[in-house]
Amino acid sequence: MTRILLTLLVVTWVGMPWPSAASETVKANEVQFTAADGVMVYADLYAAKSGKTAPLVMLFHQAGANARGEYGTIIPRLTDMGLNVLAVDQRSGGNYFGASNRTVNALGKSTRFCAAYPDMEAALQYAIDNSYTGPRFAWGSSYSAALVLKLGGDHKDDLTAVLSFSPGSGRAMGACNANQYLDSVAVPVLALSPRSEMKNRKAQFAKLKERGYQTFIAEHGAHGSSMLVESRTHLDTSAVWDTVTGFLKLYGGTFQ
């Protein structure tokens, strides 16, 4: 499907309303799926009350981390919006944020960043195989924020949009540096960064805006998806949340 990429200065929701969501805790179901190279990947699935036609957000964590730790305070906000959520432990990770990475534990080691890409492809395939037919979002943090850009080029027909928090572009990224995917990503993008990281991200964001993608700079944000968590920023995160929810709503409704 061909998608028109819009340059967005302010995100305004003009689509169809989303399903209503009760403000109650949505329980996770642990799921596993196998990556193309045979690695077993662990994840938590939070099911929307309105079912599999509701938008699905696939959450991928940053270096040394895990889904439950990094996204523990973020997931309830997403499920309250009526979203399905698949929070994935990639094979490159660890115990950062106070929880355990089950995929790393089962594998017996953490890998380099680029090696985690098959886990992200497997998450998308899990969503397809299990009939999640609503809009599908890939959400990455730091190193995985680079890889969701790659996912948005390799699997443009199966993804609706990507959210890229502090897209990894340092030397440690090696062959999967975010900058090499800026021309190939082919779905709508929201890229976000704290102001403190923009010295090294200025050209990257300029390229994304040149291509018609949306960028956002959090004036006092933390690295990666932590810019949404007030206990990590120690400051108000409402502007970041407004931008994220506006983007999700823009592409999460009925659109051609």
- Give the β-pairing of 161-165 and 189-194: parallel
**Would you state the pLDDT for residue 202?**
94
Mean pLDDT value across the chain: 90
Angle (CA) 207 195 201, round 5° = 30
If you average pLDDT over residues 147-151, what whole number do you get?
Answer: 98
Domain-wise residue ranges, the chain: 28-252
Distances (CA, A) of 98 to 15, 153, 255: 38, 33, 39
Band of pLDDT at residue 24, cut at 50, 70 and 90 = low
**Would you state the pLDDT for residue 254?**
40
Torsion of CA 203, 209, 210, 211, to 10 degrees: 120
Question: Is the domain 28-252 a CATH 1.20.272.10 member?
Answer: no
Res. 15: pLDDT tops 60: no
If you average pLDDT over residues 28-44, what whole number do you get?
Answer: 97
Q: How far apart are CA 175 and CA 180, in angstroms?
A: 9
- Give the β-pairing of 136-141 and 56-60: parallel
**Would you state the pLDDT for residue 198?**
94
**Would you state the pLDDT for residue 172?**
86
- Give the β-pairing of 189-194 and 214-218: parallel
- Provide the whole-model pTM: 0.89
Band of pLDDT at residue 8, cut at 50, 70 and 90 = very low
Lowest mean pLDDT among 24-38, 150-164, 184-198: 24-38
E strand or H helix at 165:
strand 161-165
Band of pLDDT at residue 1, cut at 50, 70 and 90 = very low
